[in-house]
Amino acid sequence: MADCIRLKKSNCRNCYKCIRHCPVKSIRFSAGQAHIIGDECILCGHCFVVCPQDAKEIVDEREKVKVMLQAGDPVYVSLAPSFIANYEGVGIENMRKALRQLGFADVEETAVGATIVKKEYDRMLEEDQRDIVISSCCHSVNLLIQKHFPKLLEFLADVMSPMQAHCMDIKRRVPNAKTVFIGPCVAKKDEAQLVDGLVDAVLTFEELTMWLKSENIELEQGEVPLEESKARFFPTTGGILKTMEKKSTKYTYIALDGVENCIAALQDIENGNIHNCFIEMSACAGSCIGGPVMEKYHRSPIREYRAVSQAAGEKDFAVEQPHPSMIRKSFDWLEKKAKQPDESEIREILREMGKYRPSDELNCGSCGYNTCRDKAIAVYQGKAEISMCLPFLKEKAEGFSDAIVKNTPNAIIVLNDKLEVQQVNAAALRILNLRSESDILGDNVDRILEPDAFKKVLTTRRGISSERVYLAEYQRYVDQTIVSAEKGRMLLCIMRDITDEEDARRDKEEFSRQTVEVADKVIEKQMRIVQEIASLLGETAAETKIALYKLKESIKNE
């Protein structure tokens, strides 16, 4: 499969939105980064559309097309009929005028190829003996069946898509022509690479818009009615059916859009519940006018459908219908490589996720998977990580936090912005002489502590660190820290009981004071003796007095 969608790693931020919206869960997460699994992806483009960080990008082929334009051979555009909705009010002639300014030889509508395809569908249903026929215009639907419902490949219409049929027709008429399809679909980039030499490049409407803007080319408003343009209905839900003759009374004709609806129908067919149907399937809600590149910036289904409906004529495009063998297309089974775990392996992974009983399996979908079992299977296949489970992480974080809070020797008190006690631990209960949390939870902190320091932190948003406070009511000294948390909505108070340290310090100070007093008495007594001796010896007592006072000071310092 072509590498059509790439990840910008710097933008991917653990939101899991892409996996929640991926209809076939073809995204693997590793180290918090999303990676598309090519073996399973159906290129519906949902991950590109829903990504809130623009971490997915569609491969840009503008440079490739510019090289083709410089090579000399005429380059023709096959323009998807959904252009009518994407560039509302701009007719085919004005699109041709703008694209010729870019260097293209000519522009034709892919609806010409759609006319060829729908005529083949009518012939197939009228002449062939088939039970169920599923339209093969949507490459994402084709990939869905090839990768996820291989048993139903026999029901997939073995006919080229309108893009392929039209480009083949252009090259029949202009043998040396190069062809570029322009439309709203990511999957067409992959489809173009399946048959060499048929479709040379694919641009999205977004790429075309950026190219026109870079060349300062303005699209002019104005449409010229074209009676032979019935196939312009193709990009709408039920649009294929609208263009078909539907002469066969054997079949029920059904149109489905959206991958989820297509999957439900395919499951029904797989279970043998559906027969004698022609089913038009489109991966995008609203069909091609709801394509991923349109949907990223345009989403007005009613206005878009009305634009297409008003532009579509009553008759078919004039085409030279090729022999059925010329537009035949085969579809192979694209085997998935992911292994399936057995029940014991699933249960073991569920236990690692903290799911020990069925009641623990919340199936909340926060990880992107519909059920915890689906998530466990994805973990086994290396597509998901256990840490993607939000309840698991929450419980783990809360358990870790609770273990710290409960076992720390420091008192912890949590207040809200109204200074109401929200949480206290066992150490706080001991310091504050409380029997249980219920004695204080929900009450104002002024019931147990002076509130001034808390009010100061709440007002200034500046914390108080390691402040020595005497709690007179409790006859305790504490080293107190108060910080603002959760952007000022909570206050956290941590108190370390330093009463024993304070008592030891006071005992030491008392011992030093008593020592100094004794030293004073000794010095006073010794001074009298020294003075008497000094007078007899004819020496001054000053030097001796100084020496004794130095001794006294050294005792004080001790």
CA dihedral (245, 249, 251, 253) positive or negative: positive
Element (H, E) at 300: none
Q: What is the pLDDT of residue 213?
A: 96
CATH number, position 447: 3.30.450.20
Q: What pairing do the DSSP bridges indicate for beta strands 75-79 and 106-109?
A: parallel
**Does 254 map to a domain?**
yes
Per-residue pLDDT of the chain (558 residues; tens, 9 = 90+): 457 888 777 778 778 889 889 999 999 887 778 889 999 999 999 898 888 888 888 999 999 999 999 998 999 999 999 999 999 899 999 999 999 999 999 999 999 999 999 999 999 999 998 999 999 999 999 999 999 999 999 999 999 999 999 999 999 999 999 999 999 999 999 999 988 889 999 999 999 999 999 999 999 998 888 999 999 999 999 999 999 998 888 999 999 999 999 999 999 999 999 999 999 999 999 999 999 888 555 568 889 999 999 999 999 999 999 999 999 999 999 887 778 899 999 999 998 888 888 888 888 877 888 898 998 998 898 888 887 877 776 666 666 667 777 788 999 999 999 999 998 999 999 999 999 988 899 999 999 999 999 999 999 989 999 999 999 999 999 999 999 987 768 899 999 999 998 888 888 888 878 877 876 777 777 777 767 776 666 555 556 566 666 666 665 565
**Does 332 map to a domain?**
no
199 and 253 fall within a common domain: yes
> 461: alpha, beta or left, given left = phi > 0 and alpha = psi -120 to 50?
left
**Does 210 map to a domain?**
yes
E-assigned strand segments in 55-125: 56-58, 75-79, 106-109
**Does 108 map to a domain?**
yes
**Residues 133, 137, 142, 145, Cα dihedral to 10°:** -30
**Does 502 map to a domain?**
no
248 and 363 fall within a common domain: no
**Which residue, of 276, 298, 327, is where some domain finishes?**
327
With 0-12 CB in 10 A as exposed, 13-18 as middle and 19+ as buried, what is 523? Answer: middle
67 and 148 fall within a common domain: yes
**Does 19 map to a domain?**
yes
The pairs formed by 102-107 with CB atoms below 8 angstroms and a separation of 24 or more are 102/69, 102/211, 102/212, 102/215, 102/217, 103/69, 103/75, 104/69, 104/75, 104/76, 104/77, 104/180, 105/74, 105/75, 105/76, 105/177, 106/74, 106/76, 106/77, 107/76, 107/77, 107/79
**Cβ contact 381:401 at 8 Å:** no
214 and 317 fall within a common domain: yes
198 and 210 fall within a common domain: yes
353 and 272 fall within a common domain: no
260 and 281 fall within a common domain: yes
Report d(CA 244, CA 279) in Å as an integer: 12
**Which residue, of 407, 430, 446, is where some domain finishes?**
407
List strands edge to edge, sheet with 132-134.
Answer: 132-134, 277-282, 252-257
420 and 435 fall within a common domain: yes
Tell me if the pTM is above 0.85: no
CATH number, position 348: 1.10.15
The domain in which residue 206 lies consists of 60-327
**Which residue, of 327, 355, 378, is where some domain finishes?**
327
**Does 4 map to a domain?**
yes
Q: What is the pLDDT of residue 345?
A: 92
Instruction: Please state the domain count of the chain.
Output: 5
37 and 148 fall within a common domain: no
380 and 277 fall within a common domain: no
CA dihedral (330, 290, 8, 207) positive or negative: positive
How far is CA 464 from its chain centroid? Answer: 39
Report d(CA 371, CA 341) in Å as an integer: 15
**Does 39 map to a domain?**
yes
Residue 121 half-sphere exposure, CB side, CA atoms within 13 Å?
31
131 and 257 fall within a common domain: yes
403 and 413 fall within a common domain: no
